[in-house]
């Protein structure tokens, strides 16, 4: 009766749905797989960028750290001299780098100041 029918799933089996979609909706299935592929790589890139933000490091610095003085520990491992902790690094990322304009002004007042003032005017 009714109690037995209520306990059963009504409708096609999941495998039948997949077979029907592939045979009748090939274009949509292809687009779905393309979307899944792009979504996977987007999630991976987002995770890598979030890790770099938390560590206050750029991709270029990660690739070339062995060339920079002060970026290697005594045992030869990587150390980031600009890492100030996750919270401060995220705050700095969200607020930007306000020291850039002030840094240019300091350089303009220095010994090669005329060159810097010319660059700032252009």
**pLDDT digit string, tens, across residues 70-88:** 888 888 888 888 888 999 9
List the domain boundaries for the chain: 11-83
How many whole angstroms separate alpha carbon 11 and alpha carbon 17? Answer: 10
pTM for the whole structure: 0.57
**pLDDT digit string, tens, across residues 42-69:** 999 999 999 999 999 999 988 988 888 8
**pLDDT digit string, tens, across residues 96-107:** 765 555 555 555
How many whole angstroms separate alpha carbon 118 and alpha carbon 49? Answer: 36
CA torsion sign, 13 to 16 to 20 to 21?
Answer: positive
How many whole angstroms separate alpha carbon 63 and alpha carbon 66? Answer: 8
């Amino acid at each position: 009766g009714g109690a037995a029918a209520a306990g059963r799933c009504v409708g096609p089996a999941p495998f039948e749905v997949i077979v029907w979609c592939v045979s009748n909706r090939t274009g949509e299935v292809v687009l779905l797989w393309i979307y899944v592929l792009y979504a996977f790589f987007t999630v991976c890139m987002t995770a890598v960028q979030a890790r770099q933000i938390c560590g206050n490091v750029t991709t270029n610095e990660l690739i070339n750290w062995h060339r920079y003085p002060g970026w290697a520990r005594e045992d030869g491992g990587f150390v980031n001299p600009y890492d100030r902790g996750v919270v401060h690094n995220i705050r700095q990322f969200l607020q930007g780098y306000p020291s850039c304009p002030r840094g240019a002004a300091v350089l303009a007042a220095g010994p090669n100041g005329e060159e810097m003032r010319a660059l700032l005017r252009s």
